Amino acid sequence: MKLSEQTKELISKALAEDIGSGDYTTLWSVPGDHRTTARIIARGTGIVAGMPVAKYLVTRFDPEPVLESATPDGQITTAGQVVIELTGLTRHLLSIERSLLNFLQRLSGIATLTRRFVDRVEGTGVKILDTRKTTPGLRELEKYAVRVGGGFNHRLGLYDYVLLKENHISAAGGITKAVQAVKKANHRNLPVEVETCTLDEVREALKAGVSRIMLDNMTVEQMKVAVELIRNIDARPVPEIEASGDINLKTVMEVAATGVDFISVGTLTHSAPVLNLTMIIEPGL
C-alpha cells in the first residue's frame, strides 16, 4: 500500500495528539543515551495489517529507530509471536509505542474479522464487501485492512459510485424517477445501484435499468425470489446483486446460498474487535 498524503498527515496528527509538548514520563525517567530492542508481540491469533503505516510512523517520529523485522500484511499471527522488532533510542521507541499499537491493533482487527467472513462463504463465489461505516479520517486505512483480510471495497466515498438509498428514492419521487434523473446527469459514467426492500421495488429497479440491485434487510426467502427475478430478466447485462442488512457470521452463509454476488457487512469496520498486541523492550543495549 502506498500511503496518501492525507494518511501521512493523519499519522503525524496521531503522534502529535499523543506526545503533545513532550512525553515527560519517558523524558524524565529514561536516560537520553539508553538504547534498546523493542518487540511488538501478538496476544492472540489474527491477520496482520498495517505494516506500511508502521514503517512510516517509525521514521516520521525520528529517522533513528530501525525496523529490524516486520510480519507481512495478510499473514496469520498467533499468541506469543513477534510481529515487529525495532532497535533504537529507548526514548524514541517508548514515545511512539501507543500510536503504533493503536494503528496496528485496529487495522489487524478489521483484517481478522474480514477473513472470518470470507472463510465462511468460501466456495460460493460471493464477495464480501465493506461499507462507508468507517472511523472518520481512517477510511483509506480501514478499507485497506478489509482488502488484506480478503474482502473487497464497495465504494470509497460518495464521489465514485451512485447508490440510491431509501431517502434519495423518497426525495426523488420513487425508484424510476430517481434512476432517470441520475442517468440524465451521469456524465461521469458511474455505476448505478438501487437499494430495494420489497419484491415490487426489485421489479421497478429492473425496469429502470441499473448496474446493481441491493436487497436490503430482506428475509432469506425474499432474497431467493428476488435473485430468481433478476437472473431471469431478458435485458443484458443482468444487474449484479448485493445483499445487505445486519448480516453476521451466523447468517452470512445462508445469505450467500441465495445466489447473490456480494454481501456488504458494516460490522467489518464499525465493530471489529482489535487484535491484541503489546510492546516489550529489552533492559538495554
Which residues have a catalytic role annotated? 98, 133, 165, 195, 216
Q: Select from 159, 123, 130, 160 the least CA-distant residue to 147.
A: 130
Q: Select from 265, 257, 280 the least CA-distant residue to 126.
A: 257
The DSSP symbol for 249 reads: T
End-to-end CA distance of the chain: 33
- CA 171 to mean position of chain CA atoms: 30
By CB neighbour count within 10 A (0-12 exposed, 13-18 middle, 19+ buried), where does 210 fall?
Answer: buried
Q: Please list, in sequence order, all residues whose beta carbon lies within 8 angstroms of the beta carbon of residue 208, skipping any fewer than 6 positions away.
A: 175, 176, 179, 180, 194
- Report CA torsion sign: 43, 44, 45, 51: negative
**Measuring CA to CA, how many Å separate 257 from each of 60, 179, 228, 275?**
47, 29, 13, 30
Q: Select from 105, 108, 21, 95 the least CA-distant residue to 60.
A: 95
Whose cell is 525495532? That residue is 86
